[in-house]
C-alpha cells in the first residue's frame, strides 16, 4: 500500500520540482533563511504530489491503454479509487496551508493556482483539446517562481524569467513525447497535437518554442538575476537543442529523432539549473 501510494505521486518527477524550486529560491536577491528554502521546496513538492495523485485518480480509465501507465495501482485495481482521492486531498490539505502559514501567502496562492489548473483544467482537457500541452505548461512552470516568491514575497522580473524558462521548455519537451507515444495516446483517448494537426505542424511548434527559448539566458543575465555561467551554458545548450529542432523539421524526422530530442530537453534543463547553482555561489561569494 505504501509503495502504491508513493507511486501515485510520480516520484521521479519530484527531482525536477525540487531542483527548480530550490533554484528559484537560491537566485532570489534577498537574504532568506535556509529553513524558508527547505519549507518552500517541501511545500511545492507536496503540492505537485497532490496534483499527480489527483491526475492518477482522474485518468485511471485511460491509463490502462498506455504502456508506461498501465501498471499503476488504479488501472491494475490494486487500489480502490477512493483511496487515491483521499490521499490526494490529504496532500492538498497539508501542502497549501504549509506554504501559506510557514512560507508566505503569495507562495501558497501560486501553489493553489498550479494545483487547480493542473487537476481541473489540464487533466480533463487532455480528452478534448490538443491545447492541453499549453495549459499544462502553466502549473509545470510554477516551482521556480514559487521558490523565488518564498524568498522575496513578491513577483519580480527574475522570478518571471525563471517561470518563462520552465513554461517554454515544457512545450517542445512534451511534444516530443507526444510524437513517439502517439499511438498510445490515441488508444487512451487523449487528444495530442501530432494526431490533431500532424507531425509537420508539431515539428514546427517544437522549432518555434526552442527558438524563443534562446534569448532567455541573456535576459536573465541582463536582469542581473544570473551571471556568466547561466548565460554561456544556457545559450550553448539552447542552440544545440534548437539545432535538433531544425534537423527534425527540415528532414521530417519522427520517432527516433523525437526520443533524442526528448533526451536533449532533459540535458538542457539540468544544464541551465546547474548553471544557476553556480551563479548563485558566485554571487554569494562576491565574485560577480
For domain 156-288, the question of CATH label 1.20.120.1780 is answered with yes
Label residues 16-42 b or e (16+ Cβ within 10 Å = b): bbbbbbbbbbbbbeeebeeebbebbbb
Q: From CA 104, how far away is CA 24, in angstroms rounded? A: 15
Domain at 1-129+145-151, CATH from 1.10.150.120, 2.60.40.2220, 3.65.10.10, 1.10.357.140 = 1.10.357.140
pTM: 0.94
Residue by residue, pLDDT tens for the chain (288 residues) are 899 999 999 988 888 999 999 999 999 999 999 999 999 999 999 999 999 999 999 999 999 988 888 999 999 999 999 999 999 999 999 999 999 999 999 999 999 999 999 999 999 999 999 999 999 999 999 999 999 999 999 999 999 999 999 999 999 999 999 999 999 999 999 999 999 999 999 999 999 999 999 999 999 999 999 999 999 999 999 999 999 999 999 999 999 999 999 999 999 999 999 999 999 999 888 887
List pLDDT tens digits, range 28-48: 999 999 999 999 999 999 999
CB within 8 Å of 200: residues ≥ 6 apart: 252
Residue with cell 542552440: 239
CB within 8 Å of 137: residues ≥ 6 apart: 166, 167, 168, 170, 171, 174
Spell out the domain ranges in the chain: 1-129+145-151, 156-288
Amino acid at each position: 500500500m505504501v509503495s502504491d501510494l508513493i507511486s501515485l505521486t510520480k516520484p521521479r518527477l519530484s527531482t525536477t520540482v525540487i531542483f527548480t524550486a530550490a533554484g528559484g529560491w537560491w537566485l532570489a536577491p534577498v537574504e532568506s533563511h535556509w529553513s524558508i528554502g527547505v519549507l518552500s521546496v517541501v511545500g511545492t513538492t507536496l503540492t505537485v504530489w497532490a496534483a499527480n495523485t489527483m491526475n492518477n485518480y482522474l485518468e485511471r480509465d485511460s491509463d490502462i491503454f498506455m504502456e508506461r501507465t498501465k501498471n499503476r495501482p488504479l488501472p491494475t485495481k490494486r487500489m480502490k479509487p477512493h483511496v487515491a482521492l483521499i490521499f490526494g486531498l490529504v496532500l492538498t490539505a497539508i501542502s497549501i496551508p504549509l506554504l501559506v502559514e510557514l512560507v508566505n501567502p503569495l507562495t501558497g496562492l501560486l501553489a493553489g493556482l498550479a494545483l487547480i489548473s493542473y487537476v481541473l483544467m489540464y487533466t480533463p482537457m487532455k480528452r478534448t483539446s490538443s491545447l492541453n500541452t499549453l495549459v499544462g505548461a502553466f502549473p509545470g512552470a510554477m516551482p521556480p517562481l514559487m521558490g523565488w516568491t518564498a524568498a522575496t514575497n513578491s513577483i519580480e522580473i527574475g522570478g518571471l524569467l525563471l517561470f518563462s524558462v520552465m513554461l517554454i521548455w515544457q512545450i517542445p519537451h512534451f511534444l516530443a513525447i507526444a510524437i513517439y507515444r502517439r499511438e498510445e495516446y490515441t488508444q487512451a483517448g487523449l487528444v495530442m497535437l501530432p494526431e490533431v494537426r500532424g507531425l509537420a505542424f508539431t515539428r514546427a511548434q517544437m522549432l518555434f518554442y526552442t527558438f524563443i527559448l534562446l534569448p532567455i539566458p541573456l535576459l536573465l543575465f541582463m536582469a542581473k538575476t544570473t551571471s556568466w555561467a547561466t548565460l554561456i551554458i544556457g545559450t550553448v545548450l539552447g542552440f544545440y537543442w534548437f539545432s535538433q529542432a531544425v534537423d527534425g523539421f527540415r528532414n521530417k524526422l519522427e520517432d527516433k529523432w523525437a526520443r533524442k530530442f526528448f533526451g536533449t530537453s532533459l540535458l538542457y534543463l539540468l544544464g541551465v539549473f546547474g548553471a544557476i547553482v553556480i551563479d548563485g555561489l558566485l554571487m554569494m561569494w562576491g565574485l560577480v
